[in-house]
Structure 1
Amino acid sequence: MKAEVKWIGEEMFAGISESGHTIVLDANGGKLAPSPLENVLLSLGGCSSVDVVSILQKARQGIDGCVVEINGTRIDTVPKLFSDIHLHFKITGKNVAEKHVERAVALSADKYCSVALMLNKAVNITHDFSIIESTK
Protein backbone atom coordinates (compact mmCIF):
# COMPACT_ATOMS: atom_id res chain seq x y z
CA MET A 1 0.00 0.00 0.00
CA LYS A 2 1.31 3.42 -0.93
CA ALA A 3 0.19 7.00 -0.50
CA GLU A 4 1.43 10.49 -1.24
CA VAL A 5 0.94 13.78 0.55
CA LYS A 6 1.49 17.06 -1.31
CA TRP A 7 1.73 20.53 0.12
CA ILE A 8 -0.90 22.61 -1.69
CA GLY A 9 -0.35 25.96 0.02
CA GLU A 10 -0.18 27.65 3.39
CA GLU A 11 -0.92 24.83 5.86
CA MET A 12 -2.99 22.70 3.49
CA PHE A 13 -1.97 19.27 2.23
CA ALA A 14 -3.57 16.80 -0.19
CA GLY A 15 -3.29 13.13 0.62
CA ILE A 16 -3.63 10.84 -2.38
CA SER A 17 -4.17 7.15 -1.80
CA GLU A 18 -2.84 4.37 -3.99
CA SER A 19 -6.44 3.79 -5.14
CA GLY A 20 -6.57 7.38 -6.43
CA HIS A 21 -8.71 9.00 -3.74
CA THR A 22 -7.81 12.41 -2.34
CA ILE A 23 -8.37 13.95 1.06
CA VAL A 24 -7.39 17.42 2.18
CA LEU A 25 -5.64 17.95 5.51
CA ASP A 26 -5.32 21.28 7.30
CA ALA A 27 -2.41 21.68 9.71
CA ASN A 28 -3.87 25.00 10.90
CA GLY A 29 -6.09 23.52 13.59
CA GLY A 30 -8.54 22.06 11.12
CA LYS A 31 -10.00 25.38 9.98
CA LEU A 32 -10.67 24.34 6.36
CA ALA A 33 -10.31 20.54 6.50
CA PRO A 34 -9.62 17.87 9.13
CA SER A 35 -6.23 18.11 10.81
CA PRO A 36 -3.96 15.07 10.55
CA LEU A 37 -4.88 14.02 14.11
CA GLU A 38 -8.59 14.49 13.45
CA ASN A 39 -8.05 12.19 10.49
CA VAL A 40 -6.56 9.57 12.84
CA LEU A 41 -9.82 9.62 14.82
CA LEU A 42 -11.87 9.40 11.62
CA SER A 43 -9.76 6.47 10.41
CA LEU A 44 -10.20 4.66 13.71
CA GLY A 45 -13.96 5.24 13.65
CA GLY A 46 -14.24 4.15 10.03
CA CYS A 47 -12.19 0.99 10.51
CA SER A 48 -14.10 0.00 13.66
CA SER A 49 -17.50 0.76 12.13
CA VAL A 50 -16.78 -1.42 9.09
CA ASP A 51 -16.02 -4.33 11.42
CA VAL A 52 -19.00 -3.80 13.73
CA VAL A 53 -21.51 -3.52 10.87
CA SER A 54 -20.08 -6.57 9.09
CA ILE A 55 -20.09 -8.72 12.24
CA LEU A 56 -23.66 -7.69 13.13
CA GLN A 57 -24.89 -8.40 9.60
CA LYS A 58 -23.24 -11.85 9.66
CA ALA A 59 -25.00 -12.46 12.99
CA ARG A 60 -28.27 -11.64 11.20
CA GLN A 61 -29.01 -8.67 13.39
CA GLY A 62 -31.56 -6.29 11.88
CA ILE A 63 -29.42 -3.17 12.00
CA ASP A 64 -30.22 -0.12 9.94
CA GLY A 65 -27.79 2.36 11.47
CA CYS A 66 -24.37 2.63 13.05
CA VAL A 67 -22.83 5.84 14.32
CA VAL A 68 -19.63 5.94 16.36
CA GLU A 69 -18.84 9.01 18.46
CA ILE A 70 -15.11 9.30 19.06
CA ASN A 71 -13.47 11.38 21.79
CA GLY A 72 -9.71 11.74 21.87
CA THR A 73 -7.75 13.19 24.80
CA ARG A 74 -4.32 14.61 24.06
CA ILE A 75 -1.43 15.22 26.44
CA ASP A 76 -0.46 18.84 27.18
CA THR A 77 3.19 18.62 26.15
CA VAL A 78 4.60 18.77 22.62
CA PRO A 79 4.13 16.58 20.69
CA LYS A 80 0.47 16.51 21.73
CA LEU A 81 -0.10 12.79 21.35
CA PHE A 82 -3.35 11.03 22.16
CA SER A 83 -3.35 9.51 25.63
CA ASP A 84 -6.90 8.16 25.49
CA ILE A 85 -9.54 7.57 22.82
CA HIS A 86 -13.10 6.50 23.58
CA LEU A 87 -15.51 5.12 20.99
CA HIS A 88 -19.25 5.05 21.64
CA PHE A 89 -21.19 2.99 19.10
CA LYS A 90 -24.85 3.86 18.58
CA ILE A 91 -26.52 0.92 16.85
CA THR A 92 -30.02 1.34 15.45
CA GLY A 93 -32.20 -1.57 14.43
CA LYS A 94 -35.07 -3.94 15.20
CA ASN A 95 -34.60 -6.41 18.05
CA VAL A 96 -30.81 -6.08 18.04
CA ALA A 97 -29.37 -8.33 20.75
CA GLU A 98 -27.02 -6.67 23.23
CA LYS A 99 -24.77 -9.76 23.32
CA HIS A 100 -24.18 -9.49 19.56
CA VAL A 101 -23.31 -5.80 19.71
CA GLU A 102 -20.99 -6.36 22.67
CA ARG A 103 -19.25 -9.18 20.78
CA ALA A 104 -18.96 -7.14 17.55
CA VAL A 105 -17.44 -4.14 19.31
CA ALA A 106 -15.00 -6.33 21.25
CA LEU A 107 -13.93 -8.29 18.15
CA SER A 108 -13.30 -5.08 16.25
CA ALA A 109 -11.24 -3.59 19.08
CA ASP A 110 -9.27 -6.72 19.96
CA LYS A 111 -8.91 -8.63 16.70
CA TYR A 112 -9.95 -6.98 13.42
CA CYS A 113 -9.51 -3.20 13.34
CA SER A 114 -5.93 -2.65 12.19
CA VAL A 115 -6.07 1.06 13.09
CA ALA A 116 -7.09 0.25 16.68
CA LEU A 117 -4.48 -2.49 16.97
CA MET A 118 -1.73 -0.09 15.86
CA LEU A 119 -2.90 2.71 18.15
CA ASN A 120 -3.31 0.34 21.13
CA LYS A 121 0.47 0.18 21.44
CA ALA A 122 0.58 3.81 22.60
CA VAL A 123 -3.00 4.91 23.37
CA ASN A 124 -5.58 3.72 25.88
CA ILE A 125 -8.62 2.93 23.70
CA THR A 126 -11.97 2.21 25.34
CA HIS A 127 -15.38 1.57 23.88
CA ASP A 128 -19.02 1.16 24.77
CA PHE A 129 -22.32 1.11 22.93
CA SER A 130 -26.00 1.84 23.04
CA ILE A 131 -28.80 0.22 21.07
CA ILE A 132 -31.63 2.31 19.73
CA GLU A 133 -34.80 0.51 18.69
CA SER A 134 -35.66 1.44 15.13
CA THR A 135 -39.04 2.89 14.27
CA LYS A 136 -38.74 1.82 10.60
Structure 2
Amino acid sequence: MKIQLKRIDNDFYFELKNERGHVTHIDSTAQVGGHDMAPSPMEYVLMGVAGCSAIDVISILKKQRQEITDYRAEVDGTREEVNGAKPFKNITVIVYLEGDIDPEKAKRAAELSFEKYCSVSKTLEPTATIEYKVIVNNKVV
Protein backbone atom coordinates (compact mmCIF):
# COMPACT_ATOMS: atom_id res chain seq x y z
CA MET A 1 0.00 0.00 0.00
CA LYS A 2 1.43 3.34 -1.03
CA ILE A 3 0.26 6.97 -0.78
CA GLN A 4 1.72 10.04 -2.52
CA LEU A 5 1.48 13.46 -0.90
CA LYS A 6 1.88 16.76 -2.76
CA ARG A 7 1.95 20.20 -1.16
CA ILE A 8 -0.69 22.52 -2.68
CA ASP A 9 -0.02 25.86 -0.99
CA ASN A 10 2.68 27.47 1.14
CA ASP A 11 1.09 26.22 4.36
CA PHE A 12 -0.45 22.84 5.24
CA TYR A 13 -2.86 22.07 2.43
CA PHE A 14 -1.91 18.79 0.73
CA GLU A 15 -3.24 16.50 -1.97
CA LEU A 16 -2.94 12.78 -1.37
CA LYS A 17 -3.29 10.06 -3.97
CA ASN A 18 -3.36 6.31 -3.58
CA GLU A 19 -2.04 3.73 -6.05
CA ARG A 20 -5.47 3.41 -7.67
CA GLY A 21 -5.59 7.15 -8.41
CA HIS A 22 -8.10 8.21 -5.75
CA VAL A 23 -7.43 11.76 -4.53
CA THR A 24 -8.22 13.44 -1.22
CA HIS A 25 -6.89 16.43 0.68
CA ILE A 26 -5.53 17.20 4.14
CA ASP A 27 -5.18 20.56 5.87
CA SER A 28 -4.85 21.86 9.39
CA THR A 29 -6.95 24.31 11.32
CA ALA A 30 -6.27 28.03 11.26
CA GLN A 31 -5.11 27.73 14.87
CA VAL A 32 -1.95 25.96 13.72
CA GLY A 33 -1.44 27.84 10.47
CA GLY A 34 -3.67 25.99 8.03
CA HIS A 35 -6.68 27.17 6.08
CA ASP A 36 -9.15 24.50 7.30
CA MET A 37 -9.89 23.48 3.68
CA ALA A 38 -9.96 19.73 4.40
CA PRO A 39 -10.01 17.31 7.32
CA SER A 40 -6.91 17.10 9.48
CA PRO A 41 -4.78 13.94 9.61
CA MET A 42 -6.25 13.01 13.00
CA GLU A 43 -9.80 13.46 11.68
CA TYR A 44 -8.90 11.05 8.89
CA VAL A 45 -7.85 8.53 11.54
CA LEU A 46 -11.35 8.71 13.04
CA MET A 47 -12.84 8.47 9.54
CA GLY A 48 -10.72 5.37 9.03
CA VAL A 49 -12.17 3.77 12.17
CA ALA A 50 -15.70 4.60 10.97
CA GLY A 51 -15.14 3.31 7.45
CA CYS A 52 -13.24 0.17 8.39
CA SER A 53 -15.81 -0.94 10.96
CA ALA A 54 -18.70 -0.10 8.58
CA ILE A 55 -17.26 -2.35 5.89
CA ASP A 56 -16.84 -5.18 8.43
CA VAL A 57 -20.28 -4.86 10.03
CA ILE A 58 -22.14 -4.58 6.73
CA SER A 59 -20.18 -7.47 5.22
CA ILE A 60 -20.89 -9.73 8.20
CA LEU A 61 -24.59 -8.85 8.28
CA LYS A 62 -24.98 -9.31 4.51
CA LYS A 63 -23.49 -12.81 4.81
CA GLN A 64 -26.15 -13.50 7.45
CA ARG A 65 -28.86 -12.25 5.07
CA GLN A 66 -29.77 -9.28 7.23
CA GLU A 67 -31.50 -6.47 5.34
CA ILE A 68 -29.77 -3.15 6.06
CA THR A 69 -31.70 -0.11 4.86
CA ASP A 70 -29.49 2.49 6.57
CA TYR A 71 -26.09 2.57 8.24
CA ARG A 72 -24.61 5.56 10.04
CA ALA A 73 -21.87 5.97 12.61
CA GLU A 74 -20.61 8.68 14.91
CA VAL A 75 -17.01 8.57 16.09
CA ASP A 76 -15.67 10.73 18.90
CA GLY A 77 -12.02 10.76 19.86
CA THR A 78 -10.31 12.30 22.86
CA ARG A 79 -6.60 12.98 22.78
CA GLU A 80 -3.99 13.27 25.49
CA GLU A 81 -0.55 14.84 25.29
CA VAL A 82 2.31 12.36 25.48
CA ASN A 83 5.85 13.71 25.06
CA GLY A 84 4.67 16.55 22.80
CA ALA A 85 2.38 14.44 20.59
CA LYS A 86 -1.38 14.14 21.10
CA PRO A 87 -2.43 10.59 20.25
CA PHE A 88 -5.97 9.37 20.76
CA LYS A 89 -6.56 8.07 24.27
CA ASN A 90 -10.24 7.11 23.89
CA ILE A 91 -12.40 6.57 20.83
CA THR A 92 -16.14 5.99 21.05
CA VAL A 93 -18.12 4.70 18.08
CA ILE A 94 -21.91 4.64 17.90
CA VAL A 95 -23.24 2.48 15.07
CA TYR A 96 -26.79 3.16 13.89
CA LEU A 97 -28.44 0.43 11.83
CA GLU A 98 -31.91 0.29 10.35
CA GLY A 99 -33.69 -2.49 8.56
CA ASP A 100 -34.79 -6.07 9.09
CA ILE A 101 -31.84 -6.87 11.35
CA ASP A 102 -31.57 -9.26 14.28
CA PRO A 103 -30.19 -7.06 17.10
CA GLU A 104 -28.00 -9.87 18.47
CA LYS A 105 -26.44 -10.41 15.04
CA ALA A 106 -25.76 -6.68 14.77
CA LYS A 107 -24.13 -6.67 18.20
CA ARG A 108 -21.99 -9.69 17.29
CA ALA A 109 -20.98 -8.14 13.95
CA ALA A 110 -19.76 -4.99 15.74
CA GLU A 111 -17.93 -7.10 18.31
CA LEU A 112 -16.16 -9.05 15.57
CA SER A 113 -15.24 -5.86 13.76
CA PHE A 114 -13.81 -3.92 16.68
CA GLU A 115 -12.23 -6.84 18.50
CA LYS A 116 -10.95 -8.94 15.60
CA TYR A 117 -11.20 -7.65 12.00
CA CYS A 118 -10.94 -3.85 11.78
CA SER A 119 -7.31 -3.16 10.91
CA VAL A 120 -7.62 0.53 11.77
CA SER A 121 -8.95 -0.20 15.26
CA LYS A 122 -6.33 -2.90 15.78
CA THR A 123 -3.61 -0.42 14.75
CA LEU A 124 -4.83 2.08 17.35
CA GLU A 125 -5.39 -0.52 20.06
CA PRO A 126 -1.95 -0.22 21.71
CA THR A 127 -2.51 3.45 22.55
CA ALA A 128 -6.29 4.05 22.50
CA THR A 129 -9.27 2.45 24.16
CA ILE A 130 -12.01 1.92 21.59
CA GLU A 131 -15.55 1.56 22.83
CA TYR A 132 -18.62 1.01 20.70
CA LYS A 133 -22.39 0.96 20.99
CA VAL A 134 -24.87 -0.48 18.52
CA ILE A 135 -28.34 0.95 17.94
CA VAL A 136 -30.72 -1.05 15.76
CA ASN A 137 -33.97 0.60 14.67
CA ASN A 138 -33.56 3.26 17.39
CA LYS A 139 -33.01 0.70 20.19
CA VAL A 140 -29.69 0.25 21.98
CA VAL A 141 -28.51 -3.34 21.67
**What TM-score does the superposition give when structure 2 sets the normalisation length?**
0.88
- Is residue 81 from structure 1 mapped to residue 84 from structure 2 by the alignment? no
- In structure 2, distance between residues paired with 1:43 and 1:15: 15
The residue matched to 1:41 in structure 2 has which SS? helix
- In structure 2, distance between residues paired with 1:7 and 1:93: 43
**4+ aligned runs moved over 6 Å, structure 1:** none
- Is residue 90 from structure 1 mapped to residue 96 from structure 2 by the alignment? yes
User: Is this contact kept in 2: 1:3–1:15, CA < 8 A?
Assistant: yes
User: Is this contact kept in 1: 2:17–2:23, CA < 8 A?
Assistant: yes
- In structure 2, distance between residues paired with 1:4 and 1:39: 16
Equivalenced residues, count: 132
TM-superposition CA deviations, 1:70-109 (whole Å, max 9, x none): 0000114631211000110000102x11110111001101
- In structure 2, distance between residues paired with 1:22 and 1:83: 29
- Is residue 14 from structure 1 mapped to residue 15 from structure 2 by the alignment? yes
1:27 CA displacement: 2.0
User: Is this contact kept in 1: 2:71–2:97, CA < 8 A?
Assistant: yes
Q: Which has the higher strand share?
A: 1
User: Which runs of 5 or more structure 2 residues have no equivalent in the other structure?
Assistant: none
1:3 aligns to what?
Answer: 3
Q: Tell me the amino acid that sits aligned with residue 98 of structure 2.
A: T
2:43 paired residue among 38, 46, 57: 38
1:113 CA displacement: 0.8
Percent identity reads 36
User: Is this contact kept in 1: 2:87–2:127, CA < 8 A?
Assistant: no
The residue matched to 1:46 in structure 2 has which SS? helix
Q: Tell me the amino acid that sits aligned with residue 49 of structure 1.
A: A
1:23 aligns to what?
Answer: 24
User: Is this contact kept in 1: 2:79–2:90, CA < 8 A?
Assistant: yes
1:48 aligns to what?
Answer: 53
The residue matched to 2:65 in structure 1 has which SS? coil
- In structure 2, distance between residues paired with 1:27 and 1:59: 41
Q: Tell me the amino acid that sits aligned with residue 4 of structure 2.
A: E
